Amino acid sequence: MAQYHPACSIISIMKRLLILFLVATFSLPSFGQEITDTKWTMSINFGLQKHDKRLFGFPPFPAAYLLEKHPESFGTYQLGISIVRKIFDKSRLKIYVGGGVSSELSTFTRPFDQDYGHEIKRDILIMTDRYYQNLLQLPIRTKLSVFKHLGLSLEMLPQFNFLAKADLDHSFFNGSEFSWWKFDFYSVEVNPGLSFELGRFELDLNYRAFQFKKIDRILFSISTLNDPRTDQIYESYNPFKLWVSIGYKL
C-alpha cells in the first residue's frame, strides 16, 4: 500500500555502512601481509547503468520534453554492501556465496502510478526523478585465476526488492514522496568480468551481460502508459551496466 509521507532514504544507511566498512578495513592488518586460508570477503559495490528511456506511447509533447531534459546516457546508480563465503577452492577455481543489501536510484524523469496497489486510480499525472529500489541480494561468484594477481570472474546476482520509493520531480514539487513496502522478486543479473587481487584486497570490474527482471508496474503502469506488455510479467531488457567492487578478505 502506498504511503504519502517523508521517509529516510536507504542511501543514508549505505553511506553509514560504507564508513563502517572503511573503518573496519583500515583497522585490520594491512594488505601487504601474507594471508592464509581466508573464507569471508566483504565488498562495497557500485553500479552505473544507462537510463531506461522507454515511455511506451506517452503523449508526444511530454515525451519529447522528458527526453530533451535527459540528453545524458547514464543516470541509474546502485550502491551496496555484501559479504560472501568461499565454499569451493580447487586448483585455480573458487566459488563464493553470500548476501547483501543495495539501493538502486533511477534519475530519469518519468510518470509513475501513485495509486499502485489500489483498484481506484486518481486521474492525476505526477512524475518522479528520484526513484529508489531497495534490494536484498544473494550473490554467487565464481573466480578463475589466470595470472598471479589477475583472474576472470562470473557473478550470478539474484535480487529481491523490499521497499520502493518515488520522490516527486523536484522541478515542480518540494519534499514529497510515495513509498511501497513489499517483498518480491526483482531481477537476476549475470555479470562477467575481471578480478584483481593484492593481499587482502580485491578489485572487480564486471559488466551485465544478461538480465531477467520483473516488470515494475509502479513505473510502467498500464494506467499511465500505453505499455503493450499487458500480459507480460517478466522481461530481459538489458541497458548497459558496469559494476565496480572493492573487497576485503576477512
Condensed to tens digits (0 to 9), the pLDDT of residues 125-140 reads 889 999 999 999 999 9
Kind and range of the H or E run holding 137: strand 127-137
pLDDT value of position 122: 81
Percentage of the chain with pLDDT > 70?
84
pLDDT value of position 1: 44
Split at pLDDT 50, 70, 90, the class of 8 is very low
pLDDT value of position 128: 94
Split at pLDDT 50, 70, 90, the class of 210 is very high
More confidently predicted of 35 and 131: 131
Least confident of 22-36, 82-96, 215-229: 22-36
For the entire predicted model, the pTM comes to 0.84
More confidently predicted of 167 and 36: 167
C-alpha torsion angle, residues 129, 246, 239, 165 (rounded to 10): -30
pLDDT value of position 174: 64
**Strand 93-106 and strand 110-111: pairing?**
unpaired
Pick from 138, 137, 136, 113: which is nearest to 124 by CA?
Answer: 113
Let me know: does 131 contact 106? Beta carbons within 8 Å. yes
Output the nine-digit C-alpha cell for 214. 520483473
Residue 211 contacts by C-beta under 8 Å, 6 or more apart in sequence?
187, 188, 189, 190, 236, 237, 238
pLDDT value of position 28: 52
Q: What are residue 131's phi and psi, to 5 degrees?
A: -115, 120
Task: Compute the residue count for the chain.
Answer: 250
User: What is the 8-class DSSP label of residue 29?
Assistant: P
pLDDT value of position 23: 56
As a whole number of angstroms, the distance between CA 234 and CA 11 comes to 27
Let me know: does 167 contact 114? Beta carbons within 8 Å. no
C-alpha torsion angle, residues 81, 83, 88, 89 (rounded to 10): 80
pLDDT value of position 125: 84
Split at pLDDT 50, 70, 90, the class of 11 is low
Residue with cell 528520484: 130
Q: What is the torsional sign of CA 159, 164, 169, 170?
A: negative
**Strand 241-249 and strand 201-207: pairing?**
antiparallel
Let me know: does 202 contact 42? Beta carbons within 8 Å. no
As a whole number of angstroms, the distance between CA 47 and CA 244 comes to 6
Task: Determine if residue 57 is left, alpha or beta; phi over 0 gives left, psi from -120 to 50 gives alpha, anything else beta.
Answer: left
Res 39 pLDDT > 70? yes
Condensed to tens digits (0 to 9), the pLDDT of residues 166-184 reads 999 876 666 678 999 999 9
pLDDT value of position 119: 79
What value does the mean pLDDT take over residues 154-166?
97
Split at pLDDT 50, 70, 90, the class of 121 is confident
pLDDT value of position 53: 96
